[in-house]
Amino acid sequence: MSTRTPVVELSDLVFSWPRQRAACLDLAEFSLTPGEDVFLHGESGSGKSTLLALLAGVLLPQQGVVRLLGQNYDDISSARRDRLRVDHIGFIFQQFNLLPYLTVLDNVLLPCRFSARRRTQSKDAHATAERLLTHLDLDRSLWARPATALSVGQQQRVAAARALIGRPELLIADEPTSALDAARQVGFLNLLRSECAASGAALLFVSHDQRLAAHFSRVVSLPQINRAGGIGEAA
């Protein structure tokens, strides 16, 4: 991976939701270089989730270009976008990341089931999953248990292991710490950063909580770069 090619980049992007006249997002430029860790800040309703959906290729902008590893989303089919996404991006959401009917280990292995690339990259997927879970301080006794048997903090660490397996180039974390208490937030954050550093993944950490910004090498405020003035999505 050349350091010159951004992991993800967008330029001159305008996006508005259907049946809304005003644009939701209007961004001149935003990008992440490989291995970079960025804190994206914005209040709820500022269009953060919309931006993430655009970066992930789930939504397409009305104007402008979004590229993942140099590939313009607009040039490829939705099926290709789905494949590209799972091949190169790991996700951690606010909560309820896990499928309740799978064990902890099977949840971690999910991306390898859908992506040949992630499967190949992780070599022995099982061993890799076990190594990640151990790294993230999840005891072996929990691995075979259903995901719902875990505490919220534990679930978030399982989600992190799942996002990291198969070494995706980008890790998108959407408010991953907001369900955790303050003491655990920093612990989880550090864990996430060190794991991303270890696997060489760029980290886009999205939160409304500005206190966390200090832990990142770059901080971007969405309201400041959004020329549309941040008319958020419906939710």
Query: What residues make contact with other proteins under the rule CB under 8 A?
Result: 49, 52-53, 56, 58-59, 78-79, 82-83, 85-87, 91, 93, 96-102, 106, 110-111, 113-115, 162, 174, 234-235
d(CA 14, CA 63): 5
Query: Least distance to other proteins from the beta carbon of 159, Å?
Result: 9
Nearer to other proteins, 115 or 121 (CB): 115
To the nearest 10 degrees (0 to 180), the angle between helices 152-164 and 182-199 is 10
Closer residue to other proteins, CB minimum distance, 58 or 191: 58
CB of 56 to other proteins, least distance (A): 6
Bridge-based pairing state of the strands 71-72 and 202-207: unpaired
CB of 7 to other proteins, least distance (A): 17
Q: How far is the CB of 100 from other proteins (least distance, A)?
A: 6
Of residues 82 and 130, the one with the C-beta less far from other proteins: 82
Minimum distance from residue 233 beta carbon to other proteins (Å) = 8
CB contact at 8 A, 173 and 159: no
Query: Which CB sits closer to other proteins, 32 or 158?
Result: 158
Minimal distance, residue 214 CB to other proteins, in Å: 27
Identify which of residues 110 and 228 has a Cβ nearer to other proteins in the complex.
110
Return the number of the residue (43 or 82) whose C-beta is nearest other proteins: 82
